[in-house]
A = this chain, B = another copy of it.
């Protein structure tokens, strides 16, 4: 309604200077007499005063906001990661602004610009797209963190995520071990390095000269469904499908269901990410488990740490495991 109260209002009401009020709110209480503390507290309480983060940020030349850009916030895995980051940042007194880049370079650049405008303490990029703007920013500042997709060559910035190649390879080896024939990869968009790393790892793990069918797909259920339909148009043989993420796997599963195929008898499906819902809703899905809730602490630590900016060892490689459910 009316303007919120400021330090001046509190100072006036409690009969001290703004400096003292500020000292109180910044915790320098050992330099203030107990009675003064009391009076400031009361005044602030009476006015319903909360220090302006804006004024504070301006003065200190640093904000407490971390911007997180994700390709698709409705993906449960992404939502889990975001929740984990928010939670971890909160413990350091930081806020997270979440924004959807929608797998769109322009959109991403616009959001990067917004983040810069907010003077974000850090920018967390999940599934970054390599653009000139991004390179430029990475060059000028060192507060960008890459998640799930490594920074493009030439960009020096910390990476948090699993070793995608190794994970893909583990799946390939598992396929070999189980003796699966007719291997198929429905991988994610090629412009994400994470996608190609997974794919390359998978091929390396298979170690076979036989060709592997490869399909490129967006990381959505709908796209996975379409690719699934294409693939299963011929279901004379039993395919073993490695999907770029769980969303794609869900889509393929639906395509299979509509053809009354059974998993894993008629079709093997392997996913990637293993969001929390799988355990409850997709007991048929074997998948690579990525520890979504480990991202937050790792990222928060990177942001909070006194910057050893050019230390190459700031990458955090999280462990993955294979979750084998009845689909494989």
Contacts and interface: CB of A to CB of B under 8 A. Distances in A.
A210 interface: no
A227 to B, nearest CB: 14
Contact of A79 (B74, B99, B114, B118): B74
A320 B36 CA distance: 56
- Specify which of A57, A142, A283 lies most central, judged by the most chain B CB atoms within 10 Å of its CB: A57
Contact of A53 (B119, B253, B277): B119
Interface stretch (A80-88, A181-189, A199-207): A80-88
Quick one: which of A3, A140, A253, A280 has the most chain B CB within 10 A? Answer: A280
A155 interface: no
Interface in A108-158: 113-114, 116-119, 136, 140-142
Contact of A54 (B48, B63, B80, B140): B63
A221 interface: yes
A83 B140 CA distance: 30
Contact of A1 (B87, B98, B100, B140): B140
A117 B57 contact: no
Interface string A28-62: 00000000000000000000101111110110010
A319 interface: no
Contacts of A280: 221, 250-251, 253-254
A54 B58 contact: yes
Contacts of A83: 73-74, 100
Contacts of A4: 116, 119, 141
Interface residues of A, number: 54
Interface stretch (A13-21, A89-97, A160-168, A260-268): A89-97
Given A58-B55, A61-B3, A250-B280, A97 B96 contact: yes
B99 A53 contact: no
A74 B65 contact: no
Interface string A205-221: 00000000000000001
A128 to B, nearest CB: 18
B100 A97 contact: no
A297 interface: no
A140 B47 CA distance: 10
Contact of A86 (B57, B99, B254): B99
A238 B251 CA distance: 33
A259 interface: no
A296 to B, nearest CB: 11
A74 B251 contact: no
Contact of A76 (B95, B113, B117, B277): B277
4 closest A-B pairs by beta carbon, nearest first, are: A79-B79, A281-B281, A73-B83, A50-B116
